[in-house]
Amino acid sequence: MTEAVRLSKRLAALLSCSRSEAERYIEGGWVRIDGRVVEEPQFRVLHEKVELDPDARLTELPPVTLLLHKPADHPAPLTLLTAASHWSADPDGTRVLKRHFHQLKLTVPLEPAASGLLVYTQDGRVARKLGEEEGLIEVEMTVDVQGEVSREQLALLMRDTDSRGQPLPPLKASLTGSGMGRSKLRLAIKGAHPGLVAYVCERAGLQILAMKRIRIGRASMGPLPPGQWRYLQAHERF
């Protein structure tokens, strides 16, 4: 061989398989060049050693959904979705592939200043559900506010109309702790949208110190560390 060729062509020749099968092996992370995994079928090879993992299998690679713990005020959370920031304790067990970071769609947006759960998906079914049923899916947030919170303020948080008498999304609020000049609230909201929590807190005379989304539907962020992500597991539903 005197000139470089595409990895998929070399692998197809080595395995006596079709080019499309070779591409699926490569994109599945099953092919090494001189001991290094390469996931790009168009990668050019010349005299390098090309090997197929003994455990390789030609299975369809389904679309994935990634759950990210966004840090507060992070300007570009999508940049946190890399192999290096994958949570090491992810219970899902999916092998991280470069293709898992392609064509991801953000669903259920979050206030820029807030931290917490973000959902990025390649799965059209997930994107449609979170888009079309946004008003029916309950999200849960914790909000730290300045000072003590009275019963009257809690009632104001849950008032179901705005200042013009227009309906607001259903909201349930509870006080979960206080001390050191601040209180922690837990809010459960159906049909939440950016700006809603800030509006109801301001209306109740509460100053927000921190805000975190911890659940979307039945998918919980759990112990996922800030700045890291995990795969949505097969049994998890929104």
Instruction: Express each pLDDT in 152-177 by its tens digit.
Output: 999 999 999 988 889 999 999 999 99
- Residue 100 belongs to domain with CATH number: 3.30.70.580
Q: Domain check: are 33 and 78 in the same one? A: no
Give the mean pLDDT of 124-148.
94
Instruction: Say how many Å lie between the first and final Cα of the chain, rounded.
Output: 53
Residues 182 and 210 occupy one common structural domain:
yes
> Residue 146 belongs to what domain range?
138-216
- pLDDT of 190 over the 90 cut: yes
Q: Is residue 144 part of a domain?
A: yes
Alpha-carbon distance values, 227 to 45, 84, 117 (Å): 36, 11, 10
Domain count for the chain, please give it: 3
Same domain, 130 and 222: yes
Nearest to 40 by CA among 22, 63, 65: 22
Angstrom distance (rounded) from CA 229 to CA 87: 6
For residue 46, being part of any structural domain is answered with yes
| Residues 129 and 222 placed together within one structural domain of the fold | yes
Handedness of CA 178, 149, 224, 76 (dihedral sign): negative
**Residue 86: how many CA atoms within 13 Å on its side-chain side?**
19
Residue 237 lies in a domain: no
Dihedral angle sign, alpha carbons of residues 195, 200, 203, 205: negative
**CATH, residue 19:** 3.10.290.10
Q: Do 167 and 190 sit in the same domain of this protein?
A: yes
* Residue 236 falls inside a structural domain: no
Q: What is the mean pLDDT of the chain?
A: 94
In our burial notation (b when 16+ CB lie closer than 10 A, e otherwise), range 40-72 reads ebebebeebebebeeeeeeeeeeebbbbbbbee
- Count of positions (residues) in the chain: 238
pLDDT for res 32: 96
**pLDDT tens profile 56-112:** 999 888 999 999 999 999 999 999 999 999 999 999 989 999 999 999 999 998 988
Structure confidence at residue 61 (pLDDT): 86
208 and 225 share one domain: no
Residue 11 counted as domain residue: yes
Where are the strands (E) in the chain, listed by range? 5-6, 31-33, 36-37, 44-45, 50-52, 65-70, 105-107, 115-121, 138-146, 171-179, 182-190, 208-216, 219-220, 229-231
Question: Is there a single domain that holds both residue 170 and residue 149?
Answer: yes
80, part of any domain: yes
What's residue 1's pLDDT?
61
Judge if 195 and 127 occupy the same domain. no
Same domain, 34 and 86: no
Tell me the pTM: 0.87
- In a domain, residue 181? The reply is yes
- DSSP letter for 51, please: E
Query: Is the same domain home to 167 and 203?
Result: yes
Phi, psi of 77 (to 5 degrees): -60, -25
Residues 187 and 121 in one domain: no
For residue 167, the model assigns a pLDDT of 93
Q: Indicate if 227 and 111 belong to the same structural domain.
A: yes
The β-bridge relationship of strands 171-179 and 138-146 is unpaired
Using the predicted structure, report yes or no on whether residue 194 has a pLDDT greater than 90: no
Q: What CATH number corresponds to the domain at position 161? A: 3.30.70.1560
